[in-house]
Structures are given as C-alpha cells and as structure tokens.
Structure 1
Amino acid sequence: MTGIGLATEYVWVYIHGYIVVYMKTMIDLNDEALALAAKELGTVTKKDTVNAALEFVARRRERIEALLDDPFALGVGPDIADSDIMREARR
C-alpha cells in the first residue's frame, strides 16, 4: 500500500519505505470522573486527560515497586539487622 490508505479501524501511512499504523480506540468514558480527573491533572481535552491519567498510574506503579524493592525506603534502616540494637529497642 502506498500513499495514504483508509480503512474502518486504522489508517496506513507510507513514509520513506516504512509503514506506520495509526489506530483509534472508541471507549465510553464516565463524564463526571473525566471532569474530576481533568481538574486534578490540569488538562483540558479528553485525550490529554486520559493520557495524563494513564501516565500517572503507570509512574505510580513504578514508584510503588521501587519502594517495595528497597527495604530501607519504608523506614527500616540498617539497624534492623543488628540484633543487639533491636533487642534494646524492644525494652
């Protein structure tokens, strides 16, 4: 396929020997939740709001996993492994 070809679910674009596929997904959105999310995220368009929310959730998951992988991140210091210090702390 050369040039721009249109189909019902996607558009093919031929650029310098490469085929790039653009897809659009139709979804039903909760308008009230979308408005609240837009206000919280400071976005204007539906597309920007959805993308910002997806990015926020993805980064949040990465931050949570990083915290769970680091034993010192949750307030547990190197003293946790020192039995003498821990014994005194329990008194």
Structure 2
Amino acid sequence: MRTTLDLPENLLNEAMRVTRTETKTAVIVLALEELIRKARIAELKQFKGKIELDIDLDNLRARR
C-alpha cells in the first residue's frame, strides 16, 4: 500500500543506521512490527500472577 508520510529525515536516518536497514520502507515496517510486538507483550503482562499453572519447570527443562 502506498502512503505519503512527512517524517523527520534525521529520525528516519538514525533509525536506518541503528537497525542497519537499507531502505526507508524496511525501517518503517520493522518499527511497526516492533510496536505491535511490544503492545502484545504488554497485554500478556496483565495476566502475570493471575493464571495458575501446574508446571514443573525443572522437569520441562530436563533438569533432575
């Protein structure tokens, strides 16, 4: 999908540099994917301590 954006050039250039991304499109796609990933993690964190799991981590990790 084509979209016209007015982005700060210095911000876009720095994002490309730190992510070692070669195109503007790639760095924007990467930023959107990262934003979605972080939002999903934040949603999962609300369940911390609220779900009872009967799991033996040592057994799962094959430690005895």
Question: TM-score with structure 2 length normalisation?
Answer: 0.66
SS in 2 for 1:69: coil
Higher relative contact order (CA 8 A, sep 6+): 2
Aligned positions of 1:22-41 closer than 5 A: 23-41=1-19
Q: Which runs of 5+ in 1 are unaligned?
A: 1-22, 73-91
Quick check: which one's strand share is greater? 1
Gaps of at least 5 residues in structure 2 are: 51-64
Secondary structure class of the residue paired with 2:46? helix
Structure possessing the higher radius of gyration over alpha carbons: 1
RMSD value, Cα: 1.6
Identity of aligned residues (%): 28
**C-alpha distance in 2, partners of 1:64/1:57?**
11
Distance in structure 2 (CA, Å) of the matches to 1:54 and 1:47: 11
In the alignment, is the contact (CA less than 8 A) between 1:41 and 1:49 conserved in 2? yes
Q: 1:69 to 1:32 in 2, by over 3 A?
A: same
Q: How much has 1:64 moved relative to structure 2?
A: 1.3
